[in-house]
Amino acid sequence: MKMFTQTQIQNFNLEKMDGIYSHGAYAYLKGYKTILRKFSFFDLELILYALSAHNVLENAVFLTVDSAYVINTNGGIQHEDAYIDTDDELKIKSSIKYAKINNKDYTPIILNNIKDLFTIGDIISIEIYNQLYADQDINNDTLNGLHAELDNYYKIYVPGSNNKLVLSPLNTSKIYGLNYISKLYNIHVNEILSIGNDTNDIELLASTGYSVALKNSTYGALKVARCICTHSNNQNAIANIVYKTIKGKQI
């Protein structure tokens, strides 16, 4: 929702719109969140072992449908306390603490025990950063080695910023989620508009009847898209395209 203005969200109830999220790992359909792909306990054990072996366990963000988590075993990371609001307007400090990380898209909950990862619910994506906290050294070589080690076991996406690895379960795909929605609503894929800007959008852009690549997209996205937008997402390109599409349908 960060790509939309508050006016757009309110006027068109965008928070309630169906969609595919987390690279195709889950869908929001008719008011319900449906998990399409998730890591098994065996997957988590293998990934945790690899992260520990490469000494990047505390560079990882573990994502569920509703929350983000980080592991803190030494107690040295910056954090914010959480509070519980009560009816009498008093604030009670919660046992939950939130980590202050470089990526402002997340406010991850701190886990002090690795075992807690197996109790937080279904993990659908894991992001490993070359620098998750401001006081960490940047280590791209470690990420390259980790990529090579895990590449045969998981789907790995490297964004254009090249500052992290995004791990998803095998067979996670935006196309799988797209087909799921098209069957549910009996809409042919050729009637669907897709919008993207990065390498993980190429398959989606190539598969739908209508597709738009944003300005400054990766070469692959620009090549397969049927149209190219003159604005980047820093200029709210996706929000404006979706906004105009919805507005056009309502006229």
Using a 10 angstrom Cβ sphere, with 0-12 exposed, 13-18 middle and 19 or more buried, the burial of residue 35 is middle
Domain boundary among 168, 200, 216: 168
Domain boundary among 107, 141, 168: 168
For 147-160, write each residue's pLDDT tens digit. 999 999 999 999 87
Residues 130 and 240 in one domain: no
Residues 75 and 145 in one domain: yes
Contact status, residue 34 vs residue 176, Cβ threshold 8 Å: no
Residues 209 and 186 in one domain: yes
Whether the predicted model's global pTM rises above the 0.85 cut = no
d(CA 87, CA 17): 32
Residue 161 belongs to some domain of the structure: yes
Range of the domain at 125: 41-168
Residues 60 and 160 in one domain: yes
Tokens standing for 249?
A: 């349908």
pLDDT at 251: 33
Residues 92 and 183 in one domain: no
- The mean pLDDT values, 10 residues at a time, for the chain of 251 residues are 64 71 81 88 96 94 94 71 56 75 90 94 95 86 93 90 90 87 89 88 92 91 92 76 68 33
Cα four-point dihedral sign 223, 219, 189, 15 = negative
Residues 67 and 129 in one domain: yes
Residues 162 and 179 in one domain: no
| Total number of domains constituting the chain | 2
Contact status, residue 44 vs residue 56, Cβ threshold 8 Å: no
pLDDT at 250: 44
How many residues comprise the chain?
251
CATH value at residue 150:
3.30.1240.10
